[in-house]
Structure 1
Amino acid sequence: MSGGLDGALTTLAFCWRIERRDGVTIGLTSHDRDLDIGGLLYRAAPGMTPSAVRSGIGLEGEDSDVAGALTSDAISEADLMAGRWDGAALELRLTQWEAPGALWLLLARGEMGAVSRKGAAFTAELIGAAAVLGGPVAPSTSPDCRARLGDRACRVDMAGRRRIVAVAAVDGAQVAADGLEAGDYAFGTLRWLGGANVGLVQAVADNGAEGVTLVDPPAFAVAAGTLALLTQGCDRQLTTCAGRFGNVVNFRGEPYLPGMDLLTRYPGA
């Protein structure tokens, strides 16, 4: 595929394929005209430029940055600030605009990390595959459970622990919905299934019988009747794991392991 680089450099164009976590996929190209490659339309975005693309046998320099201009029909400021593009899978490739797809050289692949903006432009960090090697080799001990409710470590069956509700009203971070059991969705999530917030997932701080309290208000206005998917949560305490879920055998914490405060304890404390 690299043989196409022997031609004139003026025929080269960068192409970005960005797939959000909700499945929405867009294509952008640095060329001044749209390119149709592999059934995906790469829309002209001449302001899009990769600040650094480096490759080699080492692990240094695997991450890079992508900078570009905000466009209302592709990557808008509102969507960036709402977090729609956080964690999106991104591929950066090189092609020839005279023969789109004939040269299809992969330059970088990863996830969109931190996004910053300045005026009408934005910069997105591209996190490479080598970033996973920066994580801890073994998990740190903690009195709280390190698993998430329903994941492969927790193994709680989530069937029946999700519910679709019609939102009656929204006041700040308060979302009104009827027929809930108090406390069931605390530390859980709310995923918007319609309206301007569709696809966005928000953390739930607590809930009562008539609604939930979100950690942050919705990014966009919510109309009455909008559907949302509520998923139960867990406070990751041993008593909750035993009493509510009967799942102590899979508890991923060390509630009885002495902590650093052991050195400051004294008799009778």
Structure 2
Amino acid sequence: MTATTIARAWAVSRSDGLQLGFTDHDGVLSFEGIAFRPEAGLTAQTLVQGLGLAVDNTEAQGVLSDDSITAEDLAAGRWDGAEVRLWEVDWTNVAARRLVFRGSLGEITFAAGAFRAELRGLAEALNRAQGRVYHPRCSALLGDGQCRFDLGREGFRAEGVIESLDEGGARLRLRGVPAHASGWFEHGRIAFLDGRVRGLTGAVKIDLMPAQGVREVELWAAPGAAPTVGNRVRLTAGCDKRAETCRGKFLNFLNFRGFPHLPPEDWLIAPQANRGRR
């Protein structure tokens, strides 16, 4: 019988800079500035790789560990999209290794103390739609390279403190937010700045200013971890992607990426004789 000295080592890096290493070897391996630990309980199914533009795919699974990947962090989305690298390495000489997979975490599920994560290869990005979308509304994201609007301008970001909230944190009452008109932050973002929800964000569904000094905000979905009274938040103004909003609210119509004069869909099926009347 022959014995192999080849082990697998995984490095998982979150967007906030946290980086963890795992290995299926029975001892700690160290390279690239990472300590790959065997006690984390992370394993992986056989890696499926294809030639050309085929999407690499595999799946990782393991047992939740308090000092590595926790159920709370998974629920909060802190591991969504984390970068993943996999090496095959000679554990007797870690300099003898090769990178066999690089990608990111996809859908993550967990139950009964164990998690399962889909791994997506670098070719996954090629599945996205390419080219422009011809639509009356803007196709850019507020503040991106096409929109070019500076969200750091005065009046388009504001900070406040949670005064009260419903269970789960989908509805918040905020103090200290400037008295912008109701709806100013609808379609915008909220970022949690401290506490157990620090670093989490959400999308604003409803924004109301019912009383002086109080702002009521409802999110499309509650954050993965529950905020608490006293947590600080930052609101960013939202855009509904209409030409009127771009022109009147942001004074940014020169960068509008929609087609506001495009005929509506019913024009295409209207009788030929009626088209000239529009």
TM-score, normalized by length of structure 1?
A: 0.86
Contact kept in structure 1, 2:20 and 2:68, CA below 8 Å: yes
Q: Which runs of 5+ in 1 are unaligned?
A: 1-6
Quote the residue 1:261 is aligned against: 266
Quote the residue 2:11 is aligned against: 17
Contact kept in structure 2, 1:30 and 1:46, CA below 8 Å: no
Quote the residue 2:75 is aligned against: 81
Quote the residue 2:43 is aligned against: 49
Residue 151 of structure 1 deviates from its aligned partner by 0.5
Quote the residue 1:205 is aligned against: 205
Q: Which runs of 5+ in 2 are unaligned?
A: none
Contact kept in structure 1, 2:140 and 2:147, CA below 8 Å: yes
Secondary structure of the structure 2 residue equivalent to 1:205: strand
Structure 1 residue 225 and structure 2 residue 252: aligned?
no
Letter of the 1:217 partner, please give it: A
Quote the residue 1:194 is aligned against: 194
Contact kept in structure 1, 2:9 and 2:87, CA below 8 Å: yes
Quote the residue 2:91 is aligned against: 97
Q: Distance in 1 between matches of 2:46 and 2:133?
A: 34
Contact kept in structure 2, 1:31 and 1:45, CA below 8 Å: no
Q: Distance in 2 between matches of 1:135 and 1:220?
A: 30
Contact kept in structure 2, 1:31 and 1:46, CA below 8 Å: no
Q: Distance in 1 between matches of 2:35 and 2:64?
A: 18
Q: Taking structure 1 as reference, are residues 118 and 213 closer, same or farther at Cα in structure 2, changes over 3 Å only? A: closer
Residue 43 of structure 1 deviates from its aligned partner by 2.5
Structure 1 residue 168 and structure 2 residue 163: aligned?
yes
Contact kept in structure 2, 1:144 and 1:253, CA below 8 Å: yes
Give 2:113's match in structure 1, choosing from 105, 117, 120: 120
Residue 238 of structure 1 deviates from its aligned partner by 0.8
Q: Which moved more, 1:138-147 or 1:149-158?
A: 138-147
Contact kept in structure 2, 1:32 and 1:46, CA below 8 Å: no
Letter of the 1:221 partner, please give it: A
Q: Distance in 1 between matches of 2:110 and 2:236?
A: 32
Q: Percent identity?
A: 35
Residue 183 of structure 1 deviates from its aligned partner by 2.2
Number of residue equivalences? 261
- CA deviations on 1:180-222 (whole Å, 9 max, x unpaired) are 3132221111121211112111111122332322112233232
Q: Distance in 2 between matches of 1:26 and 1:175?
A: 34
Quote the residue 1:154 is aligned against: 147
TM-score, normalized by length of structure 2?
A: 0.83
Q: Distance in 1 between matches of 2:41 and 2:18?
A: 22
Letter of the 2:121 partner, please give it: G
Contact kept in structure 1, 2:55 and 2:123, CA below 8 Å: no
Q: Distance in 2 between matches of 1:250 and 1:52?
A: 47
Q: Distance in 2 between matches of 1:245 and 1:231?
A: 13
Secondary structure of the structure 1 residue equivalent to 2:72: helix
Letter of the 2:114 partner, please give it: A
Contact kept in structure 2, 1:169 and 1:222, CA below 8 Å: no
- CA RMSD for the aligned pairs? 2.5
Quote the residue 2:183 is aligned against: 183
Secondary structure of the structure 2 residue equivalent to 1:81: helix
Residue 92 of structure 1 deviates from its aligned partner by 1.2
Q: Distance in 2 between matches of 1:87 and 1:28?
A: 18
Q: Distance in 2 between matches of 1:52 and 1:262?
A: 53
Letter of the 1:137 partner, please give it: Q
